Amino acid sequence: MKPTSACNLVTILGPTASGKTCLAVKLAQELSGEIISADSRQVFRRMDIGTGKDLHEYGAIPYHLIDVLEPGQECSLFTFQRLFLQAFEGITARGQLPILCGGTGLYLDAALRGYRMVEVPENLQLRAKLADKSDAELIEILMKLVPDQHNRTDLTDRSRTIRAIEIASYQPDDQAEQEPFPAISPLVLGIRWERTELRRRITQRLRQRLEAGMLDEIQQLHAGGVGWERLDYYGLEYRYGGMFLRGELNRNDLFQKLNAAIHDFAKRQETWFRRMERNGVVIHWLDGAEDPVTESLQIVNSNIVSLA
């Protein structure tokens, strides 16, 4: 069944632990949809607990951009957009409704803003100029180029800072800029929770992940050849879990520090969503404590005239 109105992509966003996957699955069941993940870490195989894949929730619903790369690889923004467009076009061709679901702001922007990215090549001349710069000087250069840093790992790893400067400094040629972008008309739904309740949900989910074997997962990834520095890059759970496994944190400090860091991350996500709105993205906000499924179906059905 193919959407016949202006809306041809439903997007579900929200901070971590807000219930995005559950809502996406229920909408996919009701609307003959397939889910495209907009999560920068769920693309990696065998990184299940720490990334919160919750694959059991999907049931028979097809999903995309999950388990597509090996741990240790890097998924650039260009790579994500290319994979997203492939999935979007494939789902649409099958007459299904694409449902984009996730909380990674850069990935959401790459899908919703309507510009096709180009793969940024290495700039050896620029890298030579940056080689003698201190870490602090590199961060200062990057912050001038991109003042609003959503991906904080670009500020904590020298090689990533240099690559981020390279990308921010890149000037594509006219042919790349003129490459057409598919006609995507998104309907964006956001899940909101009262601050205290969201904090409770985050803390509860962290406990569940630890009980489910998150630390064993991290240890197995490292034993399989993924270095500690690379695990740090894959996010808070892997960074703090690695510190615990190396003996740098005790169990109590692991929980307290990781829990606080995830709360801070959720605040940064919400800041990013507000910026999206300032940039013209219309987000229909749903109250997570009420009935977001019914409310979202009403919004979707009012924007999709009919399904053929």
Structure token digits, residue 174: 């006219």
Mean pLDDT in residue range 10-33: 97
What integer pLDDT is reported at residue 198 of this predicted model?
A: 98
What integer pLDDT is reported at residue 233 of this predicted model?
A: 86
Q: Binding site: what residues are annotated?
A: 14-21
pTM: 0.83
pLDDT band at 306 (very low <50, low <70, confident <90, very high): very low
Rounded Cα distance between 202 and 18, Å, is 8
**71, β-bridge pairs:** 73
What is the residue type of 195?
Answer: R
Q: Binding site for substrate: what residues are annotated?
A: 16-21
Q: Binding site for ATP: what residues are annotated?
A: 14-21
Mean pLDDT in residue range 257-276: 96
Comparing C-alpha atoms, which of 244, 193, 214 is closest to residue 41?
214
What integer pLDDT is reported at residue 1 of this predicted model?
A: 38
pLDDT tens for 84-101 read: 999 999 999 999 999 999
Instruction: Say if residue 164's pLDDT is above 90.
Output: no
Rounded Cα distance between 174 and 182, Å, is 18
